[in-house]
Amino acid sequence: MQRNWLKRVGWVGAIGAAAVAVAWFAWPRPIPVDTALAARGAMAVTADEEARTRVRHVYTVSAPVAGKVLRISRPDGHDGTSLHVGDEVVQGRTTVAVMQPVAPGLLDVRSRAELDAALVAANAVVTLAEAEIHRIDAAVSFARTELARAEGLARSNTIPARDLEKARFDLETIEAQLATAKAQLEVRRREQAVASARLLESGTDTGTNQDCCVKVSAPESGRVLRIVQEDEAVVQAGAPLVQIGDPRDLEIVADFLSTEAVQIRSGDPVTIDGWGGPTLRGRVVRVDPAGFAKVSALGIEEQRVGTVIDLVDPPESWERLGHDFRVIVHVAIWESNDALTVPASALFRRGDDWAVFAVKDGRAHATVVRTGQRNSKLVQVLSGLSPGDRVVLHPSDRVAEGTAVAEREPR
């Protein structure tokens, strides 16, 4: 009897243990999740964009005339015109470029034949003008002799006074013709010189010296930012040669999307980083009233608006920055020191609303929240949560209403 009773007790215990084991394995275990607290604190919303620095006032020195500009950055510093990027220049005193006349061009056979014929014709015209002067000069001598004879006869009343006046008129007329002929000869000689000059070709010694050159001086004091035309070359009038500016007078230009630009106002604070140095402070000076189209790296056409930013920190903190450097700007378009926030990764869509899984008594409860401002990390909660509420981060499909959850142990 006792043995049977013990056997029955053993079977009952085994069955109970098996039932407990099955119940233990079948019982739903809490899902490990990451959580965060809804808390009040400082929050800022920024518009972030790549930008570039630029000297506020850049002076581009251009060629005043067409000609040959000598090499600007000469290694020997000939004539004191050797300049390099970064060199300091003084307004009106530093020579930034020297220009010389352009050498004559090469002549083809036809052009040379035409110019040779023009020169021969010019020589013949000069010879003709010289012969005309000799003819008129002889007429002047004869007219003077006739006037002297008429004056002698008039003193003895042999001829009337009218004949004397006629002799004087003839002399004055012929002398005027002589002056005209001499002027014509000068004109013909100039035309001869022009025809001769047209025959000059490249390689002909044109006598270039310092007197024939044009020295271009710096229009403003500062430093050389860029040498546009560094090598010796023939340039047209107005061709850019050198850019000059003051690197200590920097500003930042950023092209924001038009949807972000409408939220930016003059005077908004700016944080500047991503340039290789410490974080700098700035402020918005101007938002351009007109936008422009710009194609992004993905090939999408976007409407951008230029925004000008001034540096607030002293120049000593950004002395390594220069013209056309890349920076990242963060313009604060909204700030609050007492905002109820949760991490942006806790939110998910529930219909047309935003919701979070709030953890209460070890279970997740879907809670609809009304949101306000947001940035890349935090979202402002206007209603639905209270400070200290714990929410699930990155909720997966395993988390549902009433699901048991447990804080994930840190690794």
Kind plus residue range of the DSSP H or E element containing 5:
helix 2-26
Query: What are the beta bridge partners of residue 243?
Result: 60, 226
Cα→Cα distances 377→113, 256, 374, Å: 83, 21, 8
Please compute the mean of the pLDDT values over residues 239-266 and round it to a whole number: 93
Kind plus residue range of the DSSP H or E element containing 333:
strand 326-343
CA distance 56 to 271: 20
**Chain centroid to CA 131: how far?**
67
Alpha helices in 156-266 (DSSP H): 161-197, 258-261
- On the question of pLDDT at 343 being above 90, the answer is yes
Exposure string of 263-285, with b = 16+ CB inside 10 Å and e = fewer, is ebeeebbbbbeebeeeebebebe
**By mean pLDDT, which of 76-80, 198-202, 374-378, 395-399 is the weakest?**
76-80
The answer to whether residues 27 and 20 touch, using CB atoms and an 8 Å cutoff, is no
CA distance 389 to 361: 12
Please compute the mean of the pLDDT values over residues 318-340 and round it to a whole number: 92
Helix axes 109-155, 161-197, angle to 10 degrees: 160
Give pLDDT, residue 241: 93
**By mean pLDDT, which of 81-95, 190-204, 337-351 is the weakest?**
190-204
> Could you tell me the pTM of the whole model?
0.65
For 125, phi then psi, to 5°, come to -65, -35
CA distance 244 to 61: 8
Please compute the mean of the pLDDT values over residues 139-159 and round it to a whole number: 84
